[in-house]
Structure 1
Amino acid sequence: MIRALTGFATRSPWKVIALWAVLGIAMTVLGQAFLFRVTQPSTGEFLPATYDSAAALKVAEEHFGAEPDANPLTMLVARADGAKLTDADERRIDDEAAKLARREVAMPKPKDAPPFTQDHSQVPRVSPAMTAPDRSFRLLAVELTGNPMDPGMQDLYRAFRDHARADFAEAGLRTGFTAGLADTVDSADAEKTRSTVVGIAMLVVIVLLHVLVFRSLLAALLPLLVVSVIGGAAAGAVVGASLLTGIQLDASTPQLINVVLIGIGIDYFLFLLFRFREQLRTRPEQTGRAAAAEVAGRVGTAVTSAALTIVAAFSTLAVASFGQFRVLGPAIAVSVLVMLLGSLTLMPALLAVTGRKMFWPSRGLRREPAEGMAGRMGRRVAKRPVTMVLASLALLGALAAGLAGMRMDYGTGGGGDEKTASARTAAEISRALPAGVSDPTTVFVTASGGGPVDPRALGGLSKALAAVDGVGQVAPPVPSQDGKAVRIDLFLTADAHGQQARDLVSGPVRDTVTAHRPDGTEAHVGGTAALFADISAAVSGDLKLVFPVAAGLIALILILLLRSLLAPLVLMISVGLAFAATLGASALVSEDLLDRPGVNFMLPLVLFLFVVALGTDYNILISDRIREEMEKPGPARAAVARAVRHTAPAIATAGLVLAASFGSLAVNPNPGTQEIGFATALGIMLSAFVLSIVLVPALVALLGRSVWWPVRPRRADDRTAGHHGHDRHHGHNGPAEHEERSLPVG
Structure 2
Amino acid sequence: MIRSLTALTTRHAWKFILLWTLLAAGLSIVGQSKMHSVTQPDVSSFLPKSYDSAAAMEIAEDKFGAKPDDNAVTMLVGRDDGKKLTVGDRRHIDKIARGLGEQRLKMPNPDDLPSFMLTDHSQTPVVKSGATAPDGTFRLLSVSLDGNRNDPALQDLYRDLRDHAEDEFARADLRTGFTGGIADLADTTEAQEDTEKLVGILTFGLIVLLNVLAFRSVLAAILPLIAVVLVGGAATGAVVGTALLFDFKLDPSTPSLITVVLLGIGIDYFLFMLFRFRELLRADPNPKKNARGVAAETAGRVGAAITSAALTIVAAFATLGIASFGQFKVLGPAIAVCVLVMLVASLTFIPALLAVSGRGMFWPSRALRKEPKAGMSARLGDRVARRPFLFVAASVGLLCALSAGALGMRMDYGTDSGPDDTPAAVTAKEISRALPGGVASPHTVYVAAADGKGATDGKGAGRDVRIDASGLKGLTKELKAVKGVGRVAEPVLNDRHTAAKVDFYLNVDVNSQRARDLVSDEVRPLVVKQAPPGTEAHVSGQAAIFADVSEAVSKDLKVVFPVAAGLIALILVALLRSLLAPMVLMLAIGLGFTATLGSGVLVFQHVLDRPGVSFTLPLVLFLFVVALGTDYNILISDRIREEMGRSGSARQAVAAAVRHTAPAIVTAGVVLAGSFASLAVNPSPGTQEIGLVTALGIGLSSLVLSIVLVPAVVAMLGRATWWPSKSGRRKGGRGGGHRAPRTPEYAQYEPYAPYDPYTPATWQQPHDSEPLRR
Q: TM-score range by the shorter chain?
A: over 0.9
1:293 and 2:296 matched = yes
Cα contact 1:439–1:496 (8 A) shared by 2 = yes
d(CA) in 2 for partners of 1:305 and 1:32? 30
Post-superposition, which runs of at least 4 consecutive aligned residues in structure 1 deviate over 3 A?
A: 108-115, 714-722, 731-736, 738-743
1:418 and 2:420 matched = yes
d(CA) in 2 for partners of 1:81 and 1:397? 61
Cα contact 1:635–1:740 (8 A) shared by 2 = no
d(CA) in 1 for partners of 2:519 and 2:624? 33
Cα contact 1:414–1:497 (8 A) shared by 2 = no
What's the counterpart of residue 346 of structure 2?
Answer: 343
1:13 and 2:27 matched = no
CA-CA distance at 1:140 after TM superposition: 0.9
1:686 and 2:694 matched = no
CA-CA distance at 1:456 after TM superposition: 2.2
1:580/1:151 CA distance change after superposition, 3 Å: same
d(CA) in 2 for partners of 1:20 and 1:356? 22
What's the counterpart of residue 403 of structure 1?
Answer: 406
1:706 and 2:744 matched = no
Residue in structure 1 matching 2:661, options 628, 635, 647: 647
CA-CA distance at 1:539 after TM superposition: 0.5
CA-CA distance at 1:613 after TM superposition: 0.3
CA-CA distance at 1:532 after TM superposition: 0.7
CA-CA distance at 1:109 after TM superposition: 4.2
d(CA) in 2 for partners of 1:235 and 1:49? 29
Instruction: Give deviations 1:223-263, integer Å, cap 9, x for gaps.
Output: 11111111111111111111111112222211111110110
Q: Which moved more, 1:442-451 or 1:27-36?
A: 442-451
d(CA) in 2 for partners of 1:114 and 1:148? 22
d(CA) in 2 for partners of 1:665 and 1:508? 38
Cα contact 1:107–1:159 (8 A) shared by 2 = no
What's the counterpart of residue 436 of structure 1?
Answer: 438
What's the counterpart of residue 619 of structure 1?
Answer: 633
Q: Which moved more, 1:250-259 or 1:563-572?
A: 250-259
CA-CA distance at 1:88 after TM superposition: 2.9
CA-CA distance at 1:288 after TM superposition: 1.1
1:477-556 matches, within 5 Å, as 477-556=491-570
1:578 and 2:592 matched = yes
What's the counterpart of residue 657 of structure 1?
Answer: 671
Instruction: Give deviations 1:442-468, integer Å, cap 9, x for gaps.
Output: 111113335221122111111111111
d(CA) in 1 for partners of 2:410 and 2:114? 43
d(CA) in 1 for partners of 2:447 and 2:625? 45
Cα contact 1:33–1:114 (8 A) shared by 2 = no
What's the counterpart of residue 469 of structure 2?
Answer: 455
Structure 1: tracts of 5 or more residues without a match: 723-730
1:558 and 2:572 matched = yes
What's the counterpart of residue 245 of structure 1?
Answer: 246
CA-CA distance at 1:69 after TM superposition: 1.0
Instruction: Give deviations 1:102-134, integer Å, cap 9, x for gaps.
Output: 111122444445652222111011110121221
d(CA) in 2 for partners of 1:698 and 1:281? 28
* Structure 2 residue matching 1:436: 3-state secondary structure: helix
What's the counterpart of residue 257 of structure 1?
Answer: 258
Instruction: Give the fraction of aligned pairs with identical amino acids, expressed as a percent.
Output: 61
What's the counterpart of residue 49 of structure 1?
Answer: 49
* Aligned residue type for 2:421: K
1:471-482 matches, within 5 Å, as 471-482=485-496
What's the counterpart of residue 169 of structure 2?
Answer: 168
d(CA) in 2 for partners of 1:428 and 1:396? 46
d(CA) in 2 for partners of 1:366 and 1:18? 32
d(CA) in 1 for partners of 2:292 and 2:760? 37
What's the counterpart of residue 725 of structure 1?
Answer: none
* Aligned residue type for 1:36: H
What's the counterpart of residue 37 of structure 2?
Answer: 37
* Structure 1 residue matching 2:73: 3-state secondary structure: strand
* Aligned residue type for 2:247: G
1:55-454 matches, within 5 Å, as 55-112=55-112, 116-285=117-286, 286-414=289-417, 418-448=420-450, 449=454, 450-454=464-468
| TM-score normalised by the chain length of structure 1 | 0.96
Q: Which moved more, 1:635-644 or 1:281-290?
A: 281-290
Q: Which moved more, 1:472-481 or 1:398-407?
A: 472-481
Q: Which moved more, 1:16-25 or 1:133-142?
A: 133-142
Instruction: Give deviations 1:253-310, integer Å, cap 9, x for gaps.
Output: 1111111011000100000000000000011425311100101011000000000000
Structure 2: tracts of 5 or more residues without a match: 455-463, 737-758
1:720/1:688 CA distance change after superposition, 3 Å: closer
d(CA) in 2 for partners of 1:210 and 1:284? 26
What's the counterpart of residue 677 of structure 1?
Answer: 691
CA-CA distance at 1:670 after TM superposition: 1.1
Residue in structure 1 matching 2:607, options 584, 587, 593: 593
Cα contact 2:16–2:348 (8 A) shared by 1 = yes
d(CA) in 1 for partners of 2:469 and 2:146? 29
1:708/1:740 CA distance change after superposition, 3 Å: farther
1:720/1:247 CA distance change after superposition, 3 Å: closer
Cα contact 2:719–2:729 (8 A) shared by 1 = no
Instruction: Give deviations 1:115-171, integer Å, cap 9, x for gaps.
Output: 522221110111101212211211111111111111111111111111111111111
Instruction: Give deviations 1:388-407, integer Å, cap 9, x for gaps.
Output: 11111111111111111110
Cα contact 1:108–1:155 (8 A) shared by 2 = no
Instruction: Give deviations 1:640-699, integer Å, cap 9, x for gaps.
Output: 000000000000000000001100001111111110000110000000000001000000
1:442/1:692 CA distance change after superposition, 3 Å: same
1:684/1:452 CA distance change after superposition, 3 Å: same
* Aligned residue type for 2:8: F
d(CA) in 2 for partners of 1:524 and 1:194? 42
CA-CA distance at 1:7 after TM superposition: 1.0
* Aligned residue type for 1:630: M
* Structure 2 residue matching 1:121: 3-state secondary structure: coil
d(CA) in 1 for partners of 2:107 and 2:489? 35
Instruction: Give deviations 1:687-714, integer Å, cap 9, x for gaps.
Output: 0000001000000000001000001325
1:94/1:316 CA distance change after superposition, 3 Å: same
Q: Which moved more, 1:463-472 or 1:476-485?
A: 476-485
* Aligned residue type for 1:2: I
CA-CA distance at 1:593 after TM superposition: 1.3
What's the counterpart of residue 23 of structure 1?
Answer: 23
d(CA) in 1 for partners of 2:666 and 2:773? 31
d(CA) in 1 for partners of 2:29 and 2:496? 44
* Aligned residue type for 1:171: A
CA-CA distance at 1:741 after TM superposition: 9.9
* Structure 2 residue matching 1:431: 3-state secondary structure: helix
d(CA) in 1 for partners of 2:277 and 2:503? 65
d(CA) in 1 for partners of 2:125 and 2:410? 40
* Structure 1 residue matching 2:156: 3-state secondary structure: helix
| TM-score normalised by the chain length of structure 2 | 0.92
Cα contact 1:666–1:673 (8 A) shared by 2 = yes
d(CA) in 1 for partners of 2:486 and 2:654? 67
Cα contact 1:418–1:427 (8 A) shared by 2 = no
Cα contact 2:722–2:728 (8 A) shared by 1 = no
